[in-house]
Chain A
Amino acid sequence: MTNPPFWLLAELTYRCPLQCPYCSNPIEIAQIDKELDTETWVRVMTEARGLGAVQLGFSGGEPLVREDLTDLVAEGRRLGYYTNLITSGIGLNADKVAALKQAGLDHIQVSFQASTEELNDLIAGSGKAFAQKVAMAKEIKRLGYPMVLNFVLHRQNIEQVAQILQLAAELQADYVELANTQYYGWAFHNRAALLPSLQQLLDAEVVVQAYREKFGERMKIIFVVPDYYENRPKRCMNGWGNIFLTVAPDGTALPCHSARQLPLEFPNVRDWNIGHIWRDSPSFNAFRGDSWMREPCRTCAEKDKDLGGCRCQAFMLTGDPTNADPVCAKSPHRQLINDAIEQAQQVAENTQPLRFRNWRNSKELIASSE
């Protein structure tokens, strides 16, 4: 029996005013147009809720650029979802925060995902972006939302973890997510410039631990380490087609937001209902269970623990999604991870140019891969 999906992540649009070089959106954003209309989103939300989905995330791109966002939130809440908005905060204002509350939005996660300069502005407490984010954070608190602040960490900002946590505490965040960049999409192309050193990571962990002890339940800190420094892979998405359903802006249904790159045919919600997609589509069944596994996973005693790791990472690095995630020390491809770590250490800080996520770079990357 297949579990019902628990999460529906609605990626409403790939449009976004920012160009983060560690964006997890696919590099093909320039090729993917024709966003789903409001009616189709409502149908998707209704069908997924019918299966048992509880958490509904609106993300993107920047979901605030969708004019029907408030209506979609209202509909999601009416259906009984816990509704989460994942935004950069750009385009948010006090009226919008209030309108979304009125519509029944449960939670706003403000992601601090823009440039390193912006982060520096934030920490220094200067600049327009700082004023905007602080004003929005206060508004979010004032209206009684639980507030999650999300900071994407990488080599160029990980040493500022203490200042980041200090700032989060001042803004009275209820949860702070310190998410080390995971190397998919744009981040994969910028890996050499983004991967922190082991020492940086260990130092950050010490700081995080100290803040956890100080704040306890008042401000929960979630620290996501980059799996390159582990010797077992993460239990990716808690299992393929197990709890998580992403619908991309063009209606492609995916078991995880970076799965589009895999050599599989993913169904589109314009053609199929969610029940069929979730239970019966070949791509959602491709990596359920363990019959797809090869050695060393197939006979591994730990296979129930991590399910062989991340299919996208196996594919990106080894060319075959049925291989063990190369993060695993038992993988014959582990050397690829060690090489990446070494290469990142050799690239002196800031010398590797970042590829910003924008339409021009997307077209160039598409052309160079053809």
Chain B
Amino acid sequence: MTDSVSLKLGWSPRINPHFRLQWEEAQQAKVLLYPEGMIKLNSSSGEILSLCDGDTTIQDIIDELKRIFPKEETLEQDVLEFLSVAFERRWLIHD
């Protein structure tokens, strides 16, 4: 049913303008807002989406996160998994 995506490391994802990413004080979390709804993000998802500025490639996002969290062994795989879900759900788009 969902359109499956195969990611390319050269893509530069950005937030679909139909969603808004922001910090919510009352939730103590980053959230994605959309018509009449909200997705509360856990801290790693929030971290990844914040790096999706439309200029940074997926490869660079992974490198950046590796630099911040050098101990996370499955980081690359986790990031890719999350990104493909995010594309599937149309939270992210790319050119």
> Hey, which bits of chain A sit against chain B, CB under 8 A?
4, 6, 51-52, 54-55, 57, 80, 82, 84, 106-107, 109, 144, 146, 148, 174-175, 212-213, 216-218
Q: Return the 9 tightest CB-CB contacts between A and B, nearest first.
A: A52-B26, A146-B18, A82-B33, A107-B35, A216-B1, A148-B35, A4-B26, A146-B35, A217-B90
Nearest residue (CB) in B for A146 is B18
Asked if A217 and B89 make an inter-chain contact with CB atoms under 8 angstroms apart, the answer reads yes
Measured between beta carbons, the chain B residues less than 8 angstroms from A174 are 18, 35
Of the candidates A54, A212, A218, the one whose C-beta lies within 8 Å of that of B38 is: A54
Asked if A54 and B34 make an inter-chain contact with CB atoms under 8 angstroms apart, the answer reads no
Of the candidates B26, B35, B38, the one whose C-beta lies within 8 Å of that of A175 is: B35
Asked if A54 and B24 make an inter-chain contact with CB atoms under 8 angstroms apart, the answer reads yes
Of the candidates A51, A57, A217, the one whose C-beta lies within 8 Å of that of B26 is: A51
A90 CA to B3 CA in the complex, in Å?
Answer: 35
Interface residues of B in 16-35 (CB under 8 A from A): 17-18, 20, 22, 24-27, 31, 33-35
Asked if A82 and B20 make an inter-chain contact with CB atoms under 8 angstroms apart, the answer reads yes
Interface status of B73 (Cβ within 8 A of chain A): no
Given A106-B33, A106-B35, A148-B36, 6 extra CB contacts under 8 A: A52-B26, A54-B26, A55-B33, A82-B20, A212-B1, A216-B1
Measured between beta carbons, the chain A residues less than 8 angstroms from B17 are 144
Nearest-neighbour CB distance to chain A for B79, whole angstroms, equals 21
Using an 8 Å CB-CB cutoff, how does the interface string of B48-59 with A read, 1 for contact, 0 for none? Answer: 000000000000
> Hey, which bits of chain B sit against chain A, CB under 8 A?
1-3, 17-18, 20, 22, 24-27, 31, 33-38, 88-90
A6 CA to B27 CA in the complex, in Å?
Answer: 10
A107 CA to B19 CA in the complex, in Å?
Answer: 10
Of the candidates A55, A82, A148, A217, the one whose C-beta lies within 8 Å of that of B2 is: A217
Measured between beta carbons, the chain B residues less than 8 angstroms from A54 are 24, 26, 31, 33, 38
Of the candidates A52, A55, A80, A218, the one whose C-beta lies within 8 Å of that of B36 is: A55
Nearest-neighbour CB distance to chain B for A181, whole angstroms, equals 19
Nearest residue (CB) in B for A175 is B35
Measured between beta carbons, the chain B residues less than 8 angstroms from A148 are 35-36
30 A-B residue pairings within 8 Å (CB atoms)? A4-B26, A52-B25, A52-B26, A52-B27, A54-B26, A54-B33, A54-B38, A55-B36, A57-B36, A80-B22, A82-B33, A106-B20, A107-B34, A107-B36, A109-B35, A109-B36, A144-B17, A146-B34, A146-B35, A148-B35, A148-B36, A174-B18, A174-B35, A212-B1, A213-B1, A216-B2, A216-B3, A217-B2, A217-B88, A217-B90
Nearest residue (CB) in A for B90 is A217
Nearest-neighbour CB distance to chain A for B6, whole angstroms, equals 16
A220 CA to B60 CA in the complex, in Å?
Answer: 32
Measured between beta carbons, the chain B residues less than 8 angstroms from A175 are 35
Measured between beta carbons, the chain B residues less than 8 angstroms from A4 are 26
Measured between beta carbons, the chain A residues less than 8 angstroms from B37 are 55
Nearest-neighbour CB distance to chain B for A10, whole angstroms, equals 14
Nearest-neighbour CB distance to chain A for B20, whole angstroms, equals 6
Nearest residue (CB) in A for B89 is A217
A54 CA to B89 CA in the complex, in Å?
Answer: 21
Nearest residue (CB) in B for A174 is B18
A84 CA to B37 CA in the complex, in Å?
Answer: 10
Asked if B27 and A84 make an inter-chain contact with CB atoms under 8 angstroms apart, the answer reads no
Nearest-neighbour CB distance to chain A for B31, whole angstroms, equals 7
A340 CA to B33 CA in the complex, in Å?
Answer: 39
Nearest residue (CB) in A for B19 is A146
A107 CA to B1 CA in the complex, in Å?
Answer: 26
Interface-central residue, B22, B26, B88, B89, by most chain A CB under 10 Å: B26
